[in-house]
Chains A and B, each alone.
Chain A
């Protein structure tokens, strides 16, 4: 079955440190992959879309088909990056064209 896993509920780093938020999926095909971010009590917004390489705020993500992973990275974390981050694959050939969201990782960037 298709599944997305974000193994860390909470990731705490200091300002200026590198950040990597993990995302793994299980799927026999090639999903389209997204990261969404939710700042405190706000709407979810698109952070990054793999197919178009769109990105905001310096985040990047690399698809590793061998490991079926799509980890989110930023070289130098800022305090304003503190938020919930959701990995969201679109499993294309299931007949259901709706994003599946991981359980999310809360990123805390300390000063």
Chain B
């Protein structure tokens, strides 16, 4: 298995633009997590899904952020409009509901200028 796959790996965008980050979880996993990593705040959970259903989105910073999981093999995290303070590494992770270990993608490095 190729592991959790995220795209793009790097994105530089201008303030006000829409950003879409994508994630393909490991096949067979039915939990998916989006985390954000910054120097100031470390790793924060933004949202997670079980069986494609959002369970907890209390970590989503504000209405500019939205996440979807239309099927078991794909999720998106969208920021519209983007702001410089959104610059961070966004990690997607997946795991099996029957276990608690989660596996991370390589991250999407977002810079908003």
A-facing residues in B68-113 (Cβ within 8 Å): 91, 93, 100-107
Question: Cβ of B100 and Cβ of A32 under 8 Å apart?
Answer: yes
User: Which secondary structure characterizes the binding site on chain B?
Assistant: strand
| A interface bracket (residues with beta carbon within 8 Å of B) | 20 to 34
B-facing residues in A57-111 (Cβ within 8 Å): 86, 90, 96-104
In the assembled complex, the Cα of A98 lies from the Cα of B3 at a distance in Å of: 19
Among residues of A, the one whose C-beta sits closest to the C-beta of B50 is A97
In the assembled complex, the Cα of A36 lies from the Cα of B33 at a distance in Å of: 15
Residues of B within 8 A of A104 (CB): 42-43
Q: Decide yes or no: A46 and B100 within 8 Å by CB, A98-B56, A100-B45, A102-B42 being known contacts.
A: no
Interface size (B, Cβ < 8 Å)? 22
Residues of B within 8 A of A36 (CB): 104
In the assembled complex, the Cα of A103 lies from the Cα of B55 at a distance in Å of: 24
Residues of B within 8 A of A46 (CB): 101, 103
Residues on A lying within 8 angstroms of B by beta carbon are 32, 34, 36, 42-46, 49, 86, 90, 96-104
Residues on B lying within 8 angstroms of A by beta carbon are 3-4, 31, 33, 35, 42-43, 45, 48, 50, 55-56, 91, 93, 100-107
Could you name 8 residue pairs across A and B whose Cβ atoms are closer than 8 Å? A43-B4, A43-B104, A43-B105, A44-B93, A45-B103, A90-B100, A96-B55, A100-B45
